[in-house]
Chains A and B, each alone.
Chain A
Amino acid sequence: MAPAAVKVYGWAMSPFVARALLCLEEAGVEYELVPMSRQAGDHLQPDFLARNPFAQVPVLEDGDLTLFESRAIARHVLRKHKPELLVGDGSPEAAAMVDVWLEVEAHQHHAPTAAIMVQCILAPLLGGARDQAVIDENVPKLKKVLEVYEARLSKTKYLAGESVSLADLSHFPMLRYFMETEYKALVEELPHVKAWWEELKVRPAARKVKEFMPVDFGLGKKVDQ
């Protein structure tokens, strides 16, 4: 039976879209990226709302299945094509640790990292000024979170254990941008977090996806489209 065509809808510089692409690359799945334009409001058009009524990217189409929410998409891709990245050796313990650290990424790591990144990189690109108060509020939060990561990564090579998993991969897209800011020092001052990041970023899948993620989000250059 021929494999169903896999399509991802979105703009690849979005860390959320990149999360989906990273999993497809890790799993070696053939896919088509259907490019969309945020500026043109493609995500607000009826044909896209029919795919994701929450009007957000990415959307993944896998045969009859239409999925949204980037971490749900990630889970599906890996469950189907590379389950060891989702459930480790398949023991309840291994699967549970992947889930814990994926939730930690979503609910502890994401918000302060994104807040700092948005102020440092996106706000100026969109013609505004960085709001230093937002950064100052989030730096101590991220520091505390990363201290937990340092302690964890001093005990295990990767977040969920000795093997890489979705829990690690899920961090790559936002960190790709965050590590271009002066606040990368928060990561670099923690030896185990730094080493973990260095390992993540040289993975072939990460390198591939980074090609679609210019640090200026494609906004800095004036190109005739």
Chain B
Amino acid sequence: MAPMKLYGWAVSPWMARVLVCLEEAGAEYELVPMSRSGGDHRQPEHLARNPFGEIPVLEDGDLTLYQSRAIARHILRKYKPELLRSDNLQESAMVDVWVDVDAHQLEPIIRPVVFNVIIKPFTGSDCDQDLVDESIEKLKKTLEVYEARLSTSKYLAGDFVSLADLTHFSFMRYFMATQYAEVVEAYPHVKAWWEALLARPSVKKVMAGMPPDFGFGSGNIP
């Protein structure tokens, strides 16, 4: 069986979300690098894989998948189902809740901070500081909820690590490289949970491909 192929650029947080799952699963895969600045994702060859013109895309035999969380679920279902807990109704429901909390509560807040604070300076645009400040205030309220949750369970879905935790890593990796990391570190249980994530071999491996400046500083622009 040919190894799975993952198309994209490794610095992308969407790409990294999938890479962490592949590493956790110990699955064989080939990373097919693409160039964002070269517009590879808009070429007909890629649009045939993903008509939305985005990365990552996973090829697993005849199956071609896109949307990072759908790819993540597929990999774990196939190779490490305990990270989804699909055999347990209560636990799998909690995994689903916190995967969606990341998608709909946390990521919409930290994305604009990462974009304004890290990327914009490199692309010659002005940082929207008002938006950043507003986002940080929202983040504090959201982190209060995470702190309360992680005070009662070791991980987000329960006392077991799951996709719910892993899915948070890639965007947080960049947020925590900004001066606003201290906002997260003020919450002791969130901080401990984050540090536990960073200690995972899968996360260390994927993080090695994610320079905090997305590669802009060294000229390795994706």
Contacts and interface: CB of A to CB of B under 8 A. Distances in A.
Interface of A: 53-54, 64-65, 67-69, 71-72, 75-76, 79-80, 92-93, 95-96, 99-100, 102-104, 106-108, 145, 148, 151-152
A92 B67 contact: no
A145 B62 CA distance: 24
Contact of A148 (B51, B68, B89): B51
A100 B101 contact: no
B49 interface: no
Interface string B95-125: 0110111011100000000000000000000
Contacts of B97: 67-69, 72
Contacts, number: 81
B111 to A, nearest CB: 12
Contacts of B149: 53
Nearest to A95: B77
A92 B77 contact: yes
B89 to A, nearest CB: 6
A75 B100 CA distance: 11
Contacts of B142: 54
A103 B90 contact: no
B93 A92 contact: no
28 contacts: A53-B148, A54-B105, A64-B90, A68-B97, A69-B104, A71-B100, A72-B93, A72-B96, A72-B99, A76-B93, A79-B93, A92-B78, A93-B62, A93-B63, A96-B70, A99-B70, A99-B73, A99-B74, A100-B65, A100-B67, A103-B67, A103-B69, A104-B52, A106-B103, A106-B104, A108-B52, A148-B51, A151-B51
A72 B157 CA distance: 12
Interface residues of B, number: 33
B92 interface: yes
B96 A54 contact: no
Contacts of B51: 148, 151-152
B52 A103 contact: no
Given A79-B92, A92-B78, A148-B51, A100 B99 contact: no
A19 to B, nearest CB: 12
Contacts of B100: 69, 71-72
A99 B63 CA distance: 13
B73 A96 contact: yes
B221 interface: no
Nearest to B146: A53
A80 B93 CA distance: 10
Contacts of A148: 51-52
Pick the most buried of B70, B89, B104: most chain A CB atoms within 10 A of its CB: B70
A151 B68 CA distance: 21
Given A53-B148, A76-B92, 18 more contacts: A53-B145, A54-B105, A65-B90, A67-B94, A67-B97, A69-B101, A72-B100, A75-B93, A79-B86, A80-B89, A95-B73, A96-B74, A103-B67, A103-B69, A106-B103, A106-B104, A145-B52, A148-B51
A99 B77 CA distance: 12
> Dominant SS at the B interface?
helix
A71 B145 CA distance: 20
Pick the most buried of B52, B99, B100, B105: most chain A CB atoms within 10 A of its CB: B100
Nearest to A54: B105
B155 interface: no
Contacts of A72: 93, 96-97, 99-100
Contact of B69 (A53, A65, A79, A99): A99
B66 interface: yes
A48 to B, nearest CB: 14
A79 B70 contact: no
A102 B73 CA distance: 12
Given A53-B145, A92-B77, A96-B74, A107 B96 contact: no
Q: Lowest 6 A-B CB distances belong to which pairs? A: A103-B67, A69-B100, A99-B70, A72-B96, A76-B93, A96-B74
Nearest to B96: A72
Contacts of B96: 69, 71-72, 75-76
A149 to B, nearest CB: 10
Nearest to B72: A99
